[in-house]
Amino acid sequence: MRRPRIGIPLDVDGDDYRLPRAYADAVRDAGGLPLPLAYGDAAVAGAYLALCDGLLVAGGAFDVPPERYGEARRPSCGPARPERTDFEWALLAAALAAALPVLGVCGGMQLMNVVRGGTLHQHLPEDLGVSHEQPPPKDRPSHEVEVVAGTLLAGLVGPRSLPVNSTHHQAVNRPGAGVLVSGRAPDGVVEALEVPDLAFALGVQWHPESLFREDPRQAALYRGLVDAARERMR
């Protein structure tokens, strides 16, 4: 059987498409084949998904436009990339509708929640009085996540708390329709969510691709995505 193809939307840097290597490495090491998806036209999302057995939506140095979840933009909200958000929204909505295995990382998790009708905290220091932007190095854990027993996340990493890194200023506020919170930081910030009605639809607020070489529990998240994609191929 061929390797499951995991679509990963690319970012744009000036005139160049780019993808942090760690995402592709984590997918490949988990047994998948990273398939870069060049964004630009949301109308081609379905054509891209027809090539994919699973979808990984990564974060970036931008925020989901708050207008997408019915709020006015505040000055503390970060920059938007509407074209990328439109493309990834179309991909995520179609993938979830088709029960394609999905992993959302950081901003990808936040977008997954908004696609399902949820909302975000626009700036954690203002909204909750907490900071989740750790100083360098970014590839080391800075806090724990309490994992909810009986969830998909617990099935992948085990029920005990999980050390994670933290590089975000926004977070899930109200979970979307059918979305279950499966992990929280000690300060209550949502760190993981999933859609229990689907075989594999998981979002994590941290960056397991930066930790997977040192921590097998982090690698298990990418292996879970690839295994679910392989099962769907059957």
**What is the pLDDT, as a whole number, of residue 202?**
99
- pLDDT tens-place values along the chain, 234 residues long: 899 999 999 998 889 999 999 999 999 999 999 999 998 789 999 999 999 999 999 988 999 999 999 999 999 999 999 999 999 999 999 999 999 999 999 999 999 999 999 999 999 999 999 999 999 998 999 999 999 999 999 999 999 999 999 999 999 999 999 999 999 999 999 999 999 999 999 999 999 999 999 999 999 999 999 999 999 999
Cβ contact 1:230 at 8 Å: yes
**CA-CA distance, 43 to 89, in Å (whole number)?**
11
127's enclosing H/E stretch is helix 124-127
Catalytic (active-site) positions: 106, 207, 209
Cβ contact 4:53 at 8 Å: yes
**What is the pLDDT, as a whole number, of residue 209?**
98
229's enclosing H/E stretch is helix 216-233
**CA-CA distance, 159 to 147, in Å (whole number)?**
6
Find, among 108, 107, 167, 164, the residue nearest to 132 by Cα.
167
Count the Cβ atoms, other than its own, within 10 Å of residue 219: 20
Structural domain of 85:
5-233
**CA-CA distance, 104 to 56, in Å (whole number)?**
6
DSSP 104-126: EETHHHHHHHHHTT--EES-HHH
CA atoms within 13 A on the CB side of 227: 8
**What is the pLDDT, as a whole number, of residue 63?**
97
Find, among 143, 118, 109, the residue nearest to 221 by Cα.
109
**CA-CA distance, 72 to 56, in Å (whole number)?**
28
Cβ contact 175:193 at 8 Å: yes
Q: Give the chain's domain count.
A: 1
Question: The CATH number of the domain where 78 resides is what?
Answer: 3.40.50.880
Instruction: For residue 70, count CB atoms less than 10 angstroms from its CB and return exposed for 0-12, middle for 13-18, buried for 19 or more.
Output: exposed
Claim: this prediction has a pTM higher than 0.95 = yes
